[in-house]
Structure 1
Amino acid sequence: MATRVLLLMALTLFIFPLIIPMATATFHVKGSVYCDTCRAGFETNATFYIEGARVGIQCKERRTLKKVFYREGVTDSSGTYHIEVENDHGDHICQCMLVKSPIKWCSTPDSGRDRSSIVLTHYQNGIVNHLHYANAMGFLRDEPLPQCDTLLKYYLADSDF
């Protein structure tokens, strides 16, 4: 009997406090938004990060693809956004996505870099941190900068292409 009482006390004091925060988790998603000034499809030395870009996080049910969560955020002066997501989205498909650029000449989402999948669960995945990072996402400049030819030749100098 005493052993059961000690076991119950141990569960109450040590194990349950570790499980409950995971079930009621608030995740902090962080990422950045840039302007691809060379239309290269990746970040270069000519890339700059956009202040005031709107980004959304959307989670859908895996089977029905019904939207169950959506929240938007705005990038700061360094082009970084921070968005809080309530609850564990264990069996949901979650993505960060570009919504709108404040720069008219750099407002076309790069189709290869306009969204980023993100895992927003702690359930059986070993992730205990509440801060999750998304891949950088980018808008394309309408016309590439004049120095982009030289810059892209530099990036491709060691390439087999």
Structure 2
Amino acid sequence: VPLKIECEDREGDHPKVVIDGVTDETGTYQIPVAGEHEDDICEVMVTESPMADCNELSPNRNRARVLLAKNSGMPSRLRYANSIGFLKKEPLPECGPLLQELLAE
């Protein structure tokens, strides 16, 4: 699945850095990002789905913010973003009862 990382300044006028990437068959990806982005807001986002029945962009699920500052206190250079993806056109049959159960708690 194609995706990209965009970093923009805090004013959000326009992206300063755009790096394209792609997931493997498991949805895993690695995108090397050069430079310091301490003052930038960076997000990883999906761009298009190869599945016709699962290609609807959701404003809450199509992107995740990721901290790419070197001076962040994290010992590793690896960063992990929250899950991102698309919505299916037709929900799975088991989703309705599961959602009702979760919302009842």
TM-score (norm 2): 0.88
**Larger of the two Rg values belongs to structure:** 1
Instruction: Give deviations 1:88-133, integer Å, cap 9, x for gaps.
Output: 111111111110111011001121111111111123x312311000
1:126 aligned residue:
73
- Contact kept, 8 Å, 1:55 with 1:98, in 2: the verdict is yes
For residue 136 of structure 1, report the CA deviation from its aligned partner: 0.4
Matched residue SS, 1:60 = strand
More strand by share: 1
Q: In structure 1, give the amino acid aligned to 2:37.
A: H
Q: 1:155 offset after TM fit, Å?
A: 2.5
Give the letter aligned to residue 94 of structure 1. C
* Gaps in structure 2 of 5+ consecutive residues: none
Identity of counterpart residues, as a percentage? 38
Q: How many residues align?
A: 105
Q: TM-score, normalised by structure 1?
A: 0.60
Aligned partner of 2:4 in structure 1 is 56
Mapped to 2, the partners of 1:61 and 1:133 lie a distance apart of 21
Superposed CA RMSD in Å reads 1.6
Bigger relative contact order, structure 1 or 2 (CA pairs below 8 A, ≥6 apart): 1
